[in-house]
Structure 1
Amino acid sequence: MLAGLFVVAVQAAPAPPDKAGGAIADFAAATRGLVSVPGFFDVYRDEAKGRVLLGVRAFGQPFLMTSSLPWALGSNDVGLDRGQSSESHLVEWRRVGARVLLVEDNTKFRAASNNADEVLSVRQAFAESVLWAGDIVAERKGADAEVLVDVSALLVSDRHGIAERLEQAKQGKYEVDEKRSAPSLADAKSFPDNTELEGLLTLRGPAEGAFVKDVAMDPRSLTLRQHLSFVRLPAPGYVPRAYHPASGGLSVGWYDYAQPLASSLDRRVQPRFRLEKTDPAAATSAVKKPIVFYLDRGTPEPVRSALLEGASWWKSAFEKAGFKDAYRVELLPEGVDPMDVRYSLITWAHRHTRGWSYGQPIVDPRTGEIIRGNVTLGSQRVRQDILIAESLLAPYDKKDAPELKAEAERMALARLRQLAAHEVGHALGFAHNFAASRGGNGSVMDYPHPLLKLGADGALSLDGAYGIGVGAWDDFIVAHAYAQFAAGSEDAALAKLRADIAKAGFRYVSDQDARSPGDAEPDGLLWDSGADTLQTFDALLAARRNALAHFSIGVLPPERQVGELEARLVPVYLLHRYQTEAVARLLAGASYAYAQAGDRAAGTTPVPAATQRAALARLVGNLGASELALPANVLDLVTPPGNEYARNREYFATKAGPVFDPLAAVEAAAAQTTLFLFAPERLNRLAWQHARDAQQPGVADVLAAAFRGSWQRDPRGGEAPAAAAVQDAANWVVLDALLHVLDDGGLHAQVDAEVRTSLQQWQGWLGKQGGGDAAGASRALAAETIRKYLADPKSVKLRPLPAIPPGAPI
């Protein structure tokens, strides 16, 4: 029996029938025969009628409410995963006659003032939200006053936003079917500081979407479970820490209308757990309540051990910040409800396809104090990592197959350790730092690419593909968020921490500057590696050529159908995809720092012209048949899927029926370059940087280089199979991508004019280069396409840009 949970069956005669007209019954009479679970809110289970009732003693007193999914959909694309938790909501019960309302306070707008009227004026200015309303079933008056509310309808209402998420994912319009939904009586529990309730929700819908069809036995009827947690507000005494944009932390914010007139209304704090030293004066001290994360008991070995180890890496950072035994990771105790909000949880979540993992702090929105850490790790991720490793090593037709297979598994488990630390980092209150990989294993909060070693014997090695332990940046963010300082010294101490990490060579670039194809910051990259972007790119191309040259039936386990060869070719052929983006970020790139005005760190610095031109040369090189053509050993090997098997999105798109379409692969690889090379934001920046400094490459320079590297490139004489056809496919990707840029309207007028002028020049050259072969026909059609588009864009139906198989997450 779980400590703190007391279940009492009230032995008495059955309750009388409900009184007509909705009259409020006597409390004792209404609860006779019900199973009573005392706690934060007393819970009453009505087994006979299938109801869950709640005892409410205090109205107008706020508490926290969160929702989560103990039983989920299983589709990565929709995103309704097992263990997923919502943000916390500050709510309260209010009584209106014979009814109660569950009201969410508006925490976005406040007034931190001693003037009660000022506080009220702000509260009245912005809408609050009534989330649910129900009738009072019974009431007990007097000193122990309490009302009884039937919350069954609340438990089967869609508080988690399941229907909204399905519609956003274009799966159709679903709604809760009340007749096929019910509260879960066995899961209605209460403890001194939290009450945990659950309902089985069935949503009916049109079964229109492919994702629900993939995972549901009957996509017209989706049954999930929704868990609601009611949590007592934390005790007073927590001291918020102000957010700083260079801290590496997440933020919790609101608008404070009581700020002085010259001050910003925008107030932000760093979310963090409450850590209190038992000896505040000691440099290193034990804590009153450590941070403990619990691992899902459903996690199998060897994954379980890897996750426990990786998630535990943060212990050393807390020790360096002055906390002894303040952080640990354990297996969830047997019998504990994983949805119990008192337990910070790492969930091992199964989905139909691979996808992202998540870490989320559940916070008190008033202060930023973290109540619970919630981590969801997708189980398909490790299988994808093994697939990548085996595709690179081709172990199954080699004499040392057992050693190579073990090497592949070691790489995948090393990635899992890093992933566990990464997602727990989010749950501790930390943001991504996509610049940390410049310093090697600088932070688990970056997205790492596996480090590949190409030996003198031509063999690839994956040993040491991922780092071990948290990095120097991670030590910094723990100290900045959690370390304690003498009274009056906190601001200066935090400023010193930021100065010291900058002096150590660390930069900080997070999501808003790292995820768009047109982003500018040259150090803020996902899945890149190495201190020198261009050197890493060259090394990765060499590893790619090696892996393609050795691609064989040995990439597949003997029991797998040979149609999977194409799925294993994808990550090898597109191995350079992430470093290509890193190279593109140098072109029209500009560095800048997250800072406050007092830091005196404003302004942007363009990437040097020579580096930009070197990056342009690499990108243009990506468009040539010498890099795009698949070797004969691959072309002669890849086989269509077997009977009862089919391609999926992990394969290249095909226009060649059942057989492998090499041109589709070429188009995908070329599109991976043009996606970044021709990003409208990049072209706009090119024009401006060139206007300020003529040494920097401009739009005309880039388009001329792209034209030389595609349409004007002569592939004849090379060793690549079908080089002319390969080059022709890439040429069309270049032209189509540029026409799409014009059509999308994201260019400044003068940049648009430059692009059109360049296209006119392309048209003139192409029109003179006709011929009777396939390449000549393409040049003639390209010239005519440009002419027609420039004269009347509506006269040309643009081809869709090539589909690129998914890469991330890895």
Structure 2
Amino acid sequence: MNQVFASILSRKLYLGSSLAAIWMAMASPVWAGLPSSGVPSHLGSEKGLVAQSQEESAKEEEESEFKPFNEVVKDARKIEGLFTLYHHRNTGKLYLEIQPEQLNRNFLCVMTLATGIGEAGLFRGMPISDILVQFRRVQNRVQLVVPNVNFRARPGDPVERSLSRAFSDSTLISVPIQSIHPTRKTLLIDFGEVLTRRDLPGIAPALASILGAPYLLDPESSSLGTVEAFPLNVELEAVYRFTSAGNASTSYLPSLPDSRAFNLAVHYSFSELPVSNGYRPRLADERVGYFVTAYKDFSNDSRRDPFVRYINRWHLEKQDPNAPLSPPKEPIVFWIENTVPVEYRDAIQEGVVMWNRAFEQAGFLNAIEVRQMPDDADWNPADIRYNTIRWSATFDSGFLGLGPSRVNPLTGQILDADILIDADVVRFIRREYRTFSNSGNSESLVGATDARHPCTSTLQQLYLRGTQIPQLPTATDVRWPFPGVDLPELCLKMESTRQFSMGAIAMTLLHSIPPSSTEMDKFVNQYLSYLIAHEVGHTLGLRHNFHGSTLLAPEELNNLEMTRTRGMVSSVMDYVPVNLAPPGVEQGDYFPVIVGPYDRWAIEYGYKPFNAPNPVAELPYLRQIAQRSGEPELAYAADEDTLAGLDPAANWYDLSNNMLVYSQWQLENAQAMWSRLNRRTPIAGESYSEMRDMFHAVFVYYFQHAMNISLYVGGQSFSRNFAGDGRLPFEAISATKQRQALQTLNQYVFAADAFEFTPQLLNQLAPSRWWHWGTVPIIFPLEYPIGDRIFLLQQIVLRNLLSPVRLSRLRDMELKAEPGKEVLALPELFETLQTGIWTEVVDRNASSRDITSIRRALQREYVEVLIEMVLKNQPVPEDARTLAWYNLHQLRDRINVTLRRSGNLDVYTQAHLAQTRDRINKALEAPLLTR
């Protein structure tokens, strides 16, 4: 497919050349044999083409209406490239010259924040969006149009004619033509108006969502920055001024000197899409985790699935196609930005080239290279010609790293990638414990602590997975408006600051390792290498694999021979926590140092060359690779698989193939850290605030591992395997493991001695009292509310175990079980929880004893949950409702027995038992609510 053919397709000339275009499309090895063409059917608008035809018939008359071309561009600096630009530096005017053949042709427009404000997600280098655009002439104006490529048909198919009318394109901007060149017939438009006077990225409406108050674009104060043109791309920068316009609801933005106004610079890259470069789209398989470019195919009604899906990948070709291992013709090159501190560049490079081992399995030697951006480089890291690893300073992010890539929306070919690293990440790990546990002026178990932060509601939903917690503070559901970054991913990355801080805290508390030490350097460098490897994986086209942490047994995690040959995890595309050795075990690697077997297998699927003429002919080879998905080390679970809370192995921040053991180890580590804190006293002259920050960070860590354990109850493993891959998609977690999970939760969460802290420790948990821009002290509660925190943790875990979804799964597991296979049934769940939570009255062998305030709160919550079921306030299965009724009867009877022997019990306990009995009686006698 040559340039002429591409031009014919893009302009949709269906006259004498249409038959030739169709013939070339069908004969091309790139497109032949596809379910339908990889080229969209309506690259141009019919309305636009009709208007263009009308214009051409009367262009001589029209041209006389415009200013002379030379007069408009007089005294302007001419910049030649993909488009010719004319820049008037004195006035700021920028004109874009459009060749006739560039009309109705596809260009990729990439928008990136060149400057930010350092908070609320508005960070330097943050991707905003990348869109396919066309310049279309309509009468005396030029429109900037996003063509609809989601619906396609094979060129020449009759249905193709209807698509442009059935599905609308999106016209973003329309500007008048300033002049037409008398001989070249090129169109001249005021592109400065497009970039500075129009909100092309849609930032203004997004700010209201992100910042909680409206900010308006001030076009009079906006201006152009960098203006550059190259043969295949144009690089432009627009500096936008946003103002509150006197709005009374202006947000307080501590990163700004004055919150009423700020500037954001957006870098625009306009580039040609590659044509006839030998790239062949590769069809996707849902067993292997790639981002995909998908469209709906209207050419073949007999296909079961109307969608055609291509994986997103780079164009790699072997220098020697016949060699089993060959260097690529053009390697993937990443540049380390010159803003990255020198001491971390080696660790970052190791994280990038870690992937070369995976590419060897696909037949490529040294597929990826790393180069250092010179200090005196004259190019912009946002230039689409360079793949860069950027260092971005932020005020409140904690997002750690992002790895977006820019893709040809027609074929899935990755064209550019940039990795963004939070410049504060090392400082976070080394010293600032308060950064992890205390974002703002409050503390939380789940989610960000700022109610208007877009991650607050998102993280609560991710961790609680539908569990209804009464009176749990919830934030306004703030939508993330920029498509360049996925909000749940951004929030989980921000949450990872707490996860990774535990390594530094544990090293300090358990091993007395100071921030400035060789061991801490090892920790930091391993973390950076793993972080970069994860983000590079995204830029190679790979999605998350939240099953990737289940490669090794818990006792193998600190075996260096294992972690450095086989790997610590099967995929670095998981969110992996710091590997903390349990007490008495020598510490191994903290983070993965090599890519795992899944990573190598996925790269083989995506990049191994095949001697096939077209994408469909590759399918037998690809299916042969994908059918290995049934192997345990190749298990794959993407983001959507974790949201159901079904498979305990499909989870973030877990580790090992036996999370029950691993999470119990971490609960024991947390208890050991609390014990060390109990013996620790700040040096004279130091603040107590670090004690509080570290205590709360450990508390959150404890909560998250308790939630991980709860996933086993009613859990099932889920695989994306196809028929013949070796196992069924669903398999229940064994009853033995489910019982073990319940016993662990009873011991470490619900037991009377699960949380025991000395008054000496609790009375040291004082917060920081600094109050100035950027920091607000905790005002309420000033003291650490230990009773409320313990109750909230217990409440969340309990309601998670008794949630309607989990109870329904346990009921259904009885139906799905093979004859004779043991299951954890609903009666056993209720009995186990009742015995563990109400041990003081249910256990006939236990002597009567006083019930502490922590236990009383938990017991009230348990009774409340059962009463909600009985009164039909919860949509639980009827069997669960009946069991709740039954267990309340049993509990009432045991309370009666205990009260008859209550002579030695304190007043708290007697009152608690009497009131609980009264609540149960009233609930059992109350009329049922109708649904």
Do Structure 1 and Structure 2 share a fold, with TM-score over 0.5? Answer: yes
Contact 2:292 2:312 in 1 (8 A): yes
Q: CA deviation at 1:80?
A: 2.7
The aligned counterpart of 1:50 is: 92
Contact 1:110 1:123 in 2 (8 A): no
Contact 1:109 1:255 in 2 (8 A): yes
SS across alignment from 1:628: coil
The aligned counterpart of 1:337 is: 380
The aligned counterpart of 1:359 is: 403
Alignment-mate amino acid for residue 182 of structure 1: S
Residues 1:369 and 2:369 aligned together: no
Distance 1:99 1:189, change over 3 A: same
Alignment-mate amino acid for residue 191 of structure 1: F
TM-score (norm 1): 0.84
The aligned counterpart of 1:528 is: 654
Match of 1:726 among 854, 858, 868: 854
Distance 1:342 1:495 in 2: 34
Contact 1:152 1:183 in 2 (8 A): no
Deviation digits for residues 763-791 of structure 1 (CA, Å, limit 9, x no counterpart): 74697577763344445555666777885
The aligned counterpart of 1:797 is: none
Distance 1:152 1:403 in 2: 52
The aligned counterpart of 1:593 is: 719
The aligned counterpart of 2:172 is: 131
Most deviating of 425-434 and 348-357 = 348-357
Residues 1:665 and 2:786 aligned together: no
Contact 1:699 1:754 in 2 (8 A): no
Match of 1:65 among 109, 112, 132: 109
- In structure 1, the gaps of 5 or more residues are 1-20, 795-810
The aligned counterpart of 2:255 is: 215
Contact 1:295 1:346 in 2 (8 A): yes
SS across alignment from 2:148: coil
Distance 2:694 2:325 in 1: 50
SS across alignment from 1:281: coil
SS across alignment from 1:660: coil
Residues 1:27 and 2:69 aligned together: yes
Distance 1:153 1:91, change over 3 A: closer
Residues 1:686 and 2:798 aligned together: no
The aligned counterpart of 1:465 is: 590
Deviation digits for residues 112-134 of structure 1 (CA, Å, limit 9, x no counterpart): 3432x422312221111001111
Contact 1:137 1:150 in 2 (8 A): no
The aligned counterpart of 1:579 is: 705
Contact 1:395 1:405 in 2 (8 A): no
SS across alignment from 1:293: strand
Residues 1:425 and 2:537 aligned together: yes
The aligned counterpart of 1:546 is: 672
The aligned counterpart of 2:337 is: 296
The aligned counterpart of 1:802 is: none
Distance 1:54 1:269 in 2: 34
The aligned counterpart of 1:188 is: 227
SS across alignment from 2:318: coil
Distance 1:754 1:109, change over 3 A: farther
The aligned counterpart of 2:488 is: none
Contact 1:287 1:323 in 2 (8 A): yes
The aligned counterpart of 1:95 is: 137
Distance 1:46 1:288 in 2: 41
The aligned counterpart of 2:280 is: 239
Alignment-mate amino acid for residue 111 of structure 1: A
SS across alignment from 1:199: strand
Distance 1:134 1:787 in 2: 75
Distance 1:331 1:241 in 2: 32
Alignment-mate amino acid for residue 146 of structure 2: E
Most deviating of 82-91 and 34-43 = 82-91
Match of 1:257 among 298, 301, 314: 298
The aligned counterpart of 1:806 is: none
Tell me the number of residue pairs that the alignment of Structure 1 and Structure 2 aligns: 755
Match of 1:508 among 626, 636, 639: 636
Residues 1:434 and 2:534 aligned together: no
The aligned counterpart of 1:15 is: none
Alignment-mate amino acid for residue 199 of structure 2: D
Contact 2:325 2:365 in 1 (8 A): yes
Distance 2:110 2:872 in 1: 41
Deviation digits for residues 61-93 of structure 1 (CA, Å, limit 9, x no counterpart): 111112110112322xx3232212244322100
Alignment-mate amino acid for residue 677 of structure 1: L
- In structure 2, the gaps of 5 or more residues are 1-62, 434-501, 553-567, 900-904
The aligned counterpart of 1:204 is: 243
Distance 1:213 1:450 in 2: 33
Residues 1:747 and 2:875 aligned together: yes
Contact 1:132 1:154 in 2 (8 A): no
Distance 2:922 2:213 in 1: 39
Contact 1:553 1:565 in 2 (8 A): no
Most deviating of 290-299 and 668-677 = 668-677
Most deviating of 95-104 and 319-328 = 319-328
SS across alignment from 2:742: helix
Distance 1:162 1:776 in 2: 61
Alignment-mate amino acid for residue 545 of structure 1: Q
Match of 1:498 among 626, 639, 663: 626
Distance 1:428 1:364 in 2: 14
Alignment-mate amino acid for residue 728 of structure 1: R
Distance 2:836 2:917 in 1: 17
Contact 1:317 1:478 in 2 (8 A): yes
Distance 2:218 2:874 in 1: 44
Distance 1:723 1:134, change over 3 A: farther
Distance 1:743 1:330 in 2: 66
The aligned counterpart of 2:309 is: 268
Distance 1:542 1:286, change over 3 A: same
Distance 1:112 1:758, change over 3 A: farther
Q: CA deviation at 1:51?
A: 2.1
Alignment-mate amino acid for residue 80 of structure 1: L
SS across alignment from 1:224: strand
The aligned counterpart of 1:773 is: 907
Contact 1:586 1:611 in 2 (8 A): yes
Match of 1:82 among 124, 144, 151: 124
Contact 1:312 1:329 in 2 (8 A): yes
Alignment-mate amino acid for residue 292 of structure 2: S
Q: CA deviation at 1:194?
A: 1.0
Distance 1:537 1:286, change over 3 A: closer
The aligned counterpart of 1:347 is: 390
Distance 1:734 1:301 in 2: 56
Distance 1:52 1:560 in 2: 58
SS across alignment from 1:136: strand
SS across alignment from 2:159: helix
Contact 2:107 2:132 in 1 (8 A): yes
Most deviating of 672-681 and 44-53 = 672-681
Contact 1:394 1:555 in 2 (8 A): no
Distance 1:588 1:401, change over 3 A: closer
The aligned counterpart of 2:825 is: 698
Residues 1:627 and 2:754 aligned together: yes
